[in-house]
Amino acid sequence: MPAVRHRLAPEVISHAHRLPPLGKRALGARRREAVMRAVVTGAAGFMGSHLCAHLLAAGDTVVAVDALTDSYDVALKRRNLRDLSRRPAFSFHHADLLDADLGPLLDGAHAVYHLAGESGARSSWGPGFELHARRNILATQALLEAVRDRASGAFVHASSSSVYGDARTSPTAETACPRPVSPYGVTKLAAEHLCALYRTAYGVPTLSLRLFSVYGPRQRPDMAFARLFAAAAAGRPFPLYGDGEQTRDFLYVRDAVAAMRDAACSGFTGVADLGGSPVSMKQAIAAVESVAGPVEVLPRPAERGDARHAAADITVASRAFGFRPRTALHEGLAAMAAEGA
pLDDT digits (tens, 9 = 90+) for 28-80: 334 445 678 999 999 999 999 999 999 999 999 999 999 999 999 999 999 99
List pLDDT tens digits, range 320-340: 999 999 999 999 999 999 987
pLDDT band at residue 12 under the 50/70/90 scheme: very low
Question: Residue 94: inside a domain, yes or no?
Answer: yes
Question: How much is the pLDDT for 34?
Answer: 65
Find the helix or strand (DSSP H, E) in which 132 lies: helix 128-132
Residue 60, Cβ density class (10 Å: 0-12 exposed, 13-18 middle, ≥19 buried): buried
User: Does 40 map to a domain?
Assistant: yes
Question: Structurally, how many domains does the chain consist of?
Answer: 1
Mean pLDDT of the chain: 89
Residue 57 lies in a domain: yes
pLDDT for the residue 22: 29
Between CA 110 and CA 153 the distance in angstroms is 5
- Say whether pLDDT at 261 is over 60: yes
List Cα–Cα distances, 258 to 47, 48, 84, 322, 339, in angstroms. Answer: 11, 12, 17, 11, 20
Q: Is 150 helix (H, G, I), strand (E, B) or coil?
A: coil
Residue 62 sits at φ, ψ, to 5 deg, of -120, 125
* Residue 168 pLDDT class (50, 70, 90 cuts): confident
What pLDDT is attached to residue 7?
Answer: 30
Helix (H, G, I), strand (E, B) or coil at 64: strand
H/E segment holding residue 318: helix 315-321
**Whole-angstrom Cα Rg for the chain:** 19
**Nearest-angstrom CA–CA distance, 329 and 97:** 35
Cα–Cα distance for residue pair 224/230, rounded to 1 Å: 10
Q: What is the pLDDT of residues 227-259, one digit of tens each?
A: 999 999 999 999 999 999 999 999 999 999 999
Sheet arrangement for strand 37-41: 90-94, 61-66, 37-41, 111-114, 154-160, 206-211, 270-274
CATH of the domain at 43: 3.40.50.720
Residues found in the chain: 341
Q: Is 22 within the bounds of a domain?
A: no
What pLDDT band is residue 150 in, cutting at 50, 70 and 90? confident
Output the pLDDT for position 302.
87
Does any domain span residue 235?
A: no
**Mean pLDDT confidence for 279-299:** 96
Domain for residue 87, yes or no? yes
pLDDT of residue 170: 87
Task: Report residue 2's pLDDT band, with 50, 70 and 90 as the boundaries.
Answer: very low
Q: What is the pLDDT of residue 5?
A: 29
Would residue 284 count as lying in a domain? no
Domain that holds residue 43: 33-216+250-275+307-324
DSSP designation for 134: I
Q: What per-residue confidence (pLDDT) applies to 151? A: 65
- The distance in angstroms from the start CA to the end CA of the chain is 26
Please report which confidence band the pLDDT of residue 17 belongs to, taking 50, 70 and 90 as the band edges. very low
Tell whether 280 is covered by a domain. no
> What pLDDT, on the 0 to 100 scale, is given for residue 308?
87
Active-site choice (164, 184, 198, 215):
184
DSSP string over 7-55: PPPHHHHGGGSPPPP-TTS--GGGSTT---EEEEETTTSHHHHHHHHHH
- 72 is known as an active-site residue: no
* 175-192 residue pLDDT tens: 999 999 999 999 999 999
